[in-house]
């Protein structure tokens, strides 16, 4: 018998690029880190954003402080959700073990 008949064909698919960048968790982890960076920069400038809204008369001046707190709280909740999702993805990837 021929050697290729003794072992079954593997179900490997052709992948372009570096294989570790295309693994299941790598794209999701990259997007989660990008989300963290975006939330971080929004947090840096949330007070200026609220000040612009007050200057353009979208918000009342007496509501500016409360609006800054509310925007900060929403950004904190977004950061927390991204962090929890990142932890669950990293835990799932580490339980799977190294990719051969």
Q: Is the pTM of this model over 0.75?
A: no
pLDDT in tens, 52-80: 999 999 989 999 999 999 999 999 999 99
Counting the structural domains of the chain, the total is: 1
Domain that holds residue 72: 23-94
pLDDT in tens, 79-99: 999 999 999 998 988 887 665
Which region among 7-11, 42-46, 72-76, 91-95 has the lowest average model confidence (pLDDT)? 7-11
User: Residues of 49-63 as b/e, b for ≥16 C-beta within 10 angstroms?
Assistant: ebbebeeeeebeeee
Pair of tokens at residue 80 = 């927390």
Residue 12 reports pLDDT greater than 50: yes
Mean pLDDT estimate for the chain? 82
Report if residue 61 sits inside a domain: yes
Report if residue 4 sits inside a domain: no
- Region 21-44 average pLDDT: 87
Report if residue 70 sits inside a domain: yes
Report if residue 56 sits inside a domain: yes
């Amino acid at each position: 018998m021929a050697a290729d008949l003794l072992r079954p064909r593997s179900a490997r698919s052709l992948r372009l690029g570096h294989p570790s960048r295309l693994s299941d968790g790598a794209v999701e982890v990259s997007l989660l880190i990008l989300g963290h960076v975006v939330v971080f920069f929004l947090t840096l400038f949330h007070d200026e954003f609220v000040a612009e809204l007050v200057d353009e008369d979208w918000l009342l001046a007496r509501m500016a402080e409360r609006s800054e707190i509310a925007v900060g709280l929403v950004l904190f909740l977004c950061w927390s959700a991204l962090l929890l999702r990142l932890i669950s993805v990293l835990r799932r990837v580490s339980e799977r073990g190294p990719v051969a």
